[in-house]
Amino acid sequence: MAGTKLKYRPMTVRDIPQVQLVEGKCFKTPWSRNIFLGEVTRNDNAFYVVAVQQERVIGFAGIWVVVDEGHITNIAVDPSFQRQGIGQGLMQEIITYALSRGVSRLTLEVRLSNQAAQALYTKLGFAASGIRREYYQDDKEDALIMWRELSEEWTNFGN
């Protein structure tokens, strides 16, 4: 799909089937349609963004904002589009949204075995702060907890 423009926009209910396709390619235990539907339509603390190329959703990310903290809930990029900066672009969209809502700190959990994601988060200024034992229910893998302090000046991160 070289030469086609990638765009980021808020996730809608109509995106859910394509988001589920990406989710299914990336995770052993993908979220159900009802979970995504609830996040997009009923969770006032949630914001989700999609990366779209030629009307195809190729990635997505979500965050919950509670007071001044943001919890990144989910991020995935279709494996055939990984390592092209799309994950970083999705994170930029989430962080821009978080800053607009007064968020001062972001957190996320990532599988201990997911070195590629950890490298991206570290590049974006996240730091490891602990372990959640047996966090992932499918295989009881531990999660690394990562945090990032935000500031209004943090607009050119990761470079």
- Residue 98 and residue 95: Cα distance in Å, rounded? 5
109 is catalytic: yes
Write out the two tokens for 117. 């994601």
- Residue 74 and residue 44: Cα distance in Å, rounded? 16
135 is catalytic: no
- Residue 112 and residue 106: Cα distance in Å, rounded? 19
List of E strands, 3-135 = 6-10, 46-53, 56-66, 69-77, 105-111, 127-132
In which order are the strands placed within the sheet that holds 69-77?
Answer: 6-10, 46-53, 56-66, 69-77, 105-111, 143-149, 127-132
Catalytic residue among 69, 109, 135, 136: 109
Residue type, 136: Y
Catalytic residue among 8, 48, 97, 121: 121
Catalytic residues: 109, 121
